[in-house]
Amino acid sequence: MHIMEGFLDPIWCAVWFVLAIPFVAFGAKKVIELMREHPEHKMTIALAGAFIFLLSSLKIPSVTGSSSHPTGTGFSAVLYGICATSFLATIVLIFQAILLAHGGLTTLGANIFSMGIAGPAAGLGVWLLLRKATNNIPVSMFFAALVADLFTYVVTAFQMTLNHGQSVTAFVDFMTNYAITQIPLSIVEGILFFMFAMFLLNNKPEIFDIAAGLGKKGSKGASA
């Protein structure tokens, strides 16, 4: 869910930039260190970024000032955490804003926060809870991807509400309008990653050791 150029007041553009910068900066450091210390992760990191780019580029017009699309952040979030995902999402969002007129540079901070930070955080939380409760990786991936997508639109609705109305009624209106496109997209994205997880389990199951290995390093490694 992207907020388009010119639909946020300058003060809110600045607020979301300030909130997003620490995550992106730490994420850039984390990705660089990971590729330097573990070169075997380069292809997986590139794949995670490709998912974000391809799925989030499927733009569907939504409420005035925004667009709906899958986010593709669930896979990156469960393997590399929130900050690394925010860094990958930032690269994608800058490219889309400059070359595809998708989102915007003034609203970049808001879009990073919703799609690259808040959504992945929710998806990662669901992944960790389900992995503790069950050993079913495809089901865990389904809900991680679905929740990451859904929570992105919840945060976007909140961002638009702060800028337009600042009331419960405005928030409910945004949520209701977004739900028409975003709920089906979230389900489809969940199914896509469910099938991809099944494929990986049959062909490259060791890829999920990345997520398990990072998690064993402690909560910082799992959630950062």
Q: Note down the domain range covering 26.
A: 2-223
What is the number of structural domains in the chain? 1
Please state, in angstroms and rounded to a whole number, the distance separating the CA atoms of residues 76 and 53.
12
| pLDDT at residue 64, rounded to an integer | 53
Predicted confidence at residue 207, as pLDDT, reads 82
d(CA 219, CA 200): 25
Q: How confident is the model over 159-216, as pLDDT tens digits?
A: 989 988 788 988 988 888 778 888 888 999 999 999 999 998 898 888 887 665 554 4
pTM of the model as a whole: 0.88
Which CATH number fits the domain that encloses residue 55? 1.10.1760.20
Tally DSSP H helices, then E strands, for the chain.
Answer: 9, 3
Sequence letter at residue 207: I
- Three-state DSSP at 72 gives coil
Q: Are 94 and 2 in contact (CB under 8 A)?
A: no
